Amino acid sequence: MHKKRRLCVPGEVIGVIEEFMPSKNVYQENYNLRSKVVGKIFFDPTLKIVEVIPSSINLGYPKINDEVIGVVEQVQGGIISVKIIEINNKPVHSQFIGLLILRSPPLERVHSKIVLKPGDLIRAKVTSLTNNLIHLSMNDDKYGVIYTKCSFCGGDVQVVGKRIQCLQCKMVDERKLANDFGRFKKY
């Protein structure tokens, strides 16, 4: 017979090893048993185990290998902060910021080009959650800018080769474009 308890969050102490053995979505840290996920705690006194059943509520926290869509908020020194607005094609109601680090090839003397600008709508992949930071990557043709405006006048743009050109002021700009750039509808 399972005994159900309250909702718990990742990292929360839900028991001690002297009373129960960890089961699904539970890990041991020293003598404490902690939850791996958001969910309901279930104790089985007969088998002496504790498990956490993941909540059916999608809190929208990204996981490794998830695809995200976000808006570039800041570009500084090769580190780009991205406000995540969609995870795996589902809108996110929480405020998550992902970090995208642009690296230039080794031994290259020229600084890496800024391939993104504030306001760009991008698609990226979550590669790491190290230190509670959402690390993003655009190392595939399907990742990159999916919608943008001219960074000079705010006009609509078109693709010219691997660059974009403003239809109004004719300014040409560099971007890391996704292979479906221009076919994505604006939010």
pLDDT band for position 112 (50/70/90)? Answer: very low
How many whole angstroms separate alpha carbon 146 and alpha carbon 144? 6
- Note the pLDDT of residue 24: 87
Give the SS3 label for residue 130.
Answer: helix
pTM over 0.85: no
How many whole angstroms separate alpha carbon 123 and alpha carbon 48? 45
Residue 73 has pLDDT above 70, yes or no: yes
What is the percent of the chain with per-residue pLDDT over 70, rounded to a whole number? Answer: 84
- Note the pLDDT of residue 104: 53
Count of residues making up the chain = 187
Instruction: Give all domains of the chain, ordered by start, each with its CATH number.
Output: 3-54 (2.40.50.100), 67-174 (2.40.50.140)
The arithmetic mean of pLDDT across residues 106-124, rounded, is 70
CA–chain centroid gap for 42, Å, is: 30
How many whole angstroms separate alpha carbon 142 and alpha carbon 179? 5
